Structure 1
Amino acid sequence: MSAEPTLAEHAELSGPDAATLRQVMGHFCTGVAVITAHDGERPHGFTCQSVVSLSLEPPFVSFCPTKKSTSWPLLREARHLCINVLAHDQKAIASGFAVSGADKFAGVSWSPAANGAPAIDGTLARIDATVEVEHDAGDHTIVIARITDLTADVDREPLLFFKGGFGDFNAH
């Protein structure tokens, strides 16, 4: 009878290299969102494809910004977020918010959500949330946020990310 491996022994197990992991996980189609906040002086945001509904009671959503993000620390400080789920025709917005250091809101029409975070016009859905807790997870951070309000446009189609590129979904 053998004992269960310790955490240190698990850490020594090898896994796939980063390129293989990215290539295989790229086969998992995801939605695309822009997560935004306003610090009282200016809006901030970044593109994210790791948004997931976490809990109905209490209402939690989760997402995972990279630790290299220069935007996430600014959003974290603001605490009140808007998760803008992008529609099929918002690829340019997704690409613009994925660029570090750019004026990401240039040419983007938005209005303040109830919590003050920027709600981008024309999105598929909007989730207003407040940061509850963060967990360390390798080269990313797992953020858990409490949903305070949400809405969806049932007539819009989603922007999707698959195999490193954007696409859409035609349900008809």
Structure 2
Amino acid sequence: MSVEAARFREVLGHFPTGVCVVTAIGEDGSPAGMAIGSFTSVSLNPPLVGFLPAKASSSFPRIRAAKSFCVNVLSAGQEDLCRVFATSGADKFADVGWSDAPSGAPVLDGVLAWIDCAWESVHETGDHYLALGRVTALDAVADHPLVFFRGGYGRWEKQTALPHKEFP
């Protein structure tokens, strides 16, 4: 059975994701960054995270060449920032405030959380790469995430927790 790309995207768009910007300091000393919606925790021991940049990305080669990278989890009010980092070819850092993570990679102002990483590995996976990083430092600094769902952006706010259920 063959699955059409448009249908694949439509159906998987029903899975809400957080939105992140992966940043690094390029070999030329200037910051690089790209928006991603495919970020995940991979392992607790050792602490590993992963993201899946497209092979066609013009930003990923600069990030990959860096010694480290930082995953910036965007907060609810940062949709415009996400759109800047999703644009190809522009000076993405022109009007963006940031500070240095412990590795020197950019931590963007106002993010929900940041995860500073050393490169672990990069694997080819279809038309994307699976990029893995070993977490070296991290922090959570805001309350409400930017969420992508069915082609649009929104926010999530914690509701009253449902009763905990035990599963067999």
Give the TM-score normalised by the residue count of structure 2: 0.91
Kindly state the Cα deviation for residue 156 of structure 1 after the two structures are TM-superposed.
Answer: 1.7
Counterpart AA for 1:32: V
1:120 equivalent in alignment to 2:111: no
1:95 equivalent in alignment to 2:63: no
> Given the alignment, which residue of 131, 137, 146 partners 1:143?
131
Structure 2 CA distance, aligned partners of 1:34 and 1:108? 12
In the TM superposition, what are the counterparts of 1:1-172 in structure 2 within 5 Å? 14-39=1-26, 40-153=28-141, 155-172=142-159
Gaps of 5+ in 1: 1-13
Structure 2 CA distance, aligned partners of 1:161 and 1:90? 12
Kindly state the Cα deviation for residue 60 of structure 1 after the two structures are TM-superposed.
Answer: 0.2
User: Alignment identity in percent?
Assistant: 46
**Greater CA radius of gyration, 1 or 2?**
1
Kindly state the Cα deviation for residue 15 of structure 1 after the two structures are TM-superposed.
Answer: 2.7
Three-state SS of the structure 2 residue aligned to 1:111 is strand
